[in-house]
Structure 1
Amino acid sequence: MTGPQRITLAMTGASGAQYGLRLLDCLVQEEREVHFLISKAAQLVLATETDVVLPAKPQAMQAFLTEYTGAAPGQIRVYGKEDWMAPVASGSGAPAAMVVVPCSTGTLSAIATGACNNLIERAADVALKERRQLILVPREAPYSSIHLENMLKLSNMGVTILPASPGFYNQPQTVEDLVDFVVARILNCLGVPQDLLPRWGEHHLVSED
């Protein structure tokens, strides 16, 4: 199995809830253990942008997402925003990689300043201090100088800043194709196999003439 076996997936209150749901589904299909965190704002966005309405309590949400994705029992673990005993809150228990998708600019700022006001921010802080992989997927337009400065600061710390900017060279036909483009890029960065999008040049045929 290539790529990390345990991954923290956090969803925060920017537009683009479909990216987080699709990534969760792909990670489950690749048999990864997912530690799932979601902010209240992200739950509101999710209910606005999709037909998915998550239960409020972590245990009920875990059961819902397990059935929704077809995950094995225990494959998805959901934690509340102040569950400081969760594995993701400590360097000794946190997964090797973390993705925040979508990442609000508020969360971006909190991570850049080490705020740690909730479990999502603390989990990201752990990833930073332990020099583990951290991928942030901001979805905002336009970016202010503050947003850009925070991205540069985090990039200099080794964080991967992967804006939700779908490409069109694969000639997408549906919204799902656009979502898959971004999710494929996230999976590529994680080193997790994906067949959502061919890698550049994979289908390029070179003439022998």
Structure 2
Amino acid sequence: MKQRMIVGISGATGIIYGIKLLKTLKELGIETHLVISKAAEMTLHYETDMTVKELRGLADITYPIQDVGAAIASGSFQAMGMIVAPCSVHTLSAIANSLSNQLLVRAADVTLKERRRLVLLLRETPFTIGHIKNMLAVTENGGIIAPPVPAFYTKPSSLDEMVEHTIGRVLDLFGIDTGKLHRWGEES
């Protein structure tokens, strides 16, 4: 199977995680299929100087959020899995309840039904009981909730190092070693 990853970017704060993920996958030669929510486009404007066109340019293939007939909406589309980075609680809720009325959620739903790996970098705090129930529902369906929590044992000297560590940990879940991850108990 060709190495392909579906990447969703939703409107939560922390769009840098999606950007770093796309850049890292490109460096590793893994084909990326990107879908961005409208709220993510707004967040991109608030948190970076990057344009939507530049963000889309980091991916091999991009899809409009409304295109529920896109290749990534089909179980016959072969991919390693899907990562939503960042994942808003709105997107979490839609995925947890299979509300597939737009492509990002449909692709996540298909990823789960095909028993492929789905990882959500949930960006919210504190959590309500509703958030926790939705996290439980996604987990019970085979998804992984991976909030981007920094690891300070690495003694990061920059925000980029903290983001890189999180992306390295997420890609570990797919058996992908970035070669840049400082691992506990291992020499640098």
Length-normalised TM-score, structure 2: 0.94
- Partners of 1:21 and 1:96 in 2: CA distance: 19
* 1:38 Cα offset (Å): 0.4
* 1:19 Cα offset (Å): 0.5
Instruction: Tell me the SS of whatever aligns to 2:142.
Output: coil
> Would the aligned equivalents of 1:17 and 1:49 in 2 still touch at CA under 8 Å?
yes
User: Do residues 110 (structure 1) and 103 (structure 2) align?
Assistant: no
Query: Following TM superposition, where does structure 1 have runs of at least 4 consecutive aligned residues deviating by more than 2 angstroms?
Result: none
- Partners of 2:182 and 2:158 in 1: CA distance: 17
Which residue, 126, 145, 153 being the options, matches 2:137? 153
Percent sequence identity over aligned pairs: 41
Deviation digits for residues 102-153 of structure 1 (CA, Å, limit 9, x no counterpart): 0000000000000001000100110111111100110111111111111111
> Would the aligned equivalents of 2:10 and 2:39 in 1 still touch at CA under 8 Å?
yes
User: Do residues 120 (structure 1) and 107 (structure 2) align?
Assistant: no
Which residue, 34, 37, 61 being the options, matches 2:35? 37
- Partners of 1:4 and 1:104 in 2: CA distance: 29
Paired residue for 2:153? 169
Instruction: Tell me the SS of whatever aligns to 1:117.
Output: coil
Equivalent residues, number: 188
> Would the aligned equivalents of 2:168 and 2:181 in 1 still touch at CA under 8 Å?
yes
> Would the aligned equivalents of 1:139 and 1:164 in 2 still touch at CA under 8 Å?
yes
Decide which structure has the larger Cα Rg and report it.
Answer: 1
The runs of 5 or more residues in structure 1 that have no matched partner are 67-75, 205-209
> Would the aligned equivalents of 1:4 and 1:191 in 2 still touch at CA under 8 Å?
no
User: Do residues 91 (structure 1) and 84 (structure 2) align?
Assistant: no
Instruction: Tell me the SS of whatever aligns to 2:173.
Output: helix
Paired residue for 2:114? 130
Which residue, 15, 38, 63 being the options, matches 1:79? 63
User: Do residues 140 (structure 1) and 124 (structure 2) align?
Assistant: yes
User: Do residues 196 (structure 1) and 151 (structure 2) align?
Assistant: no
Length-normalised TM-score, structure 1: 0.85
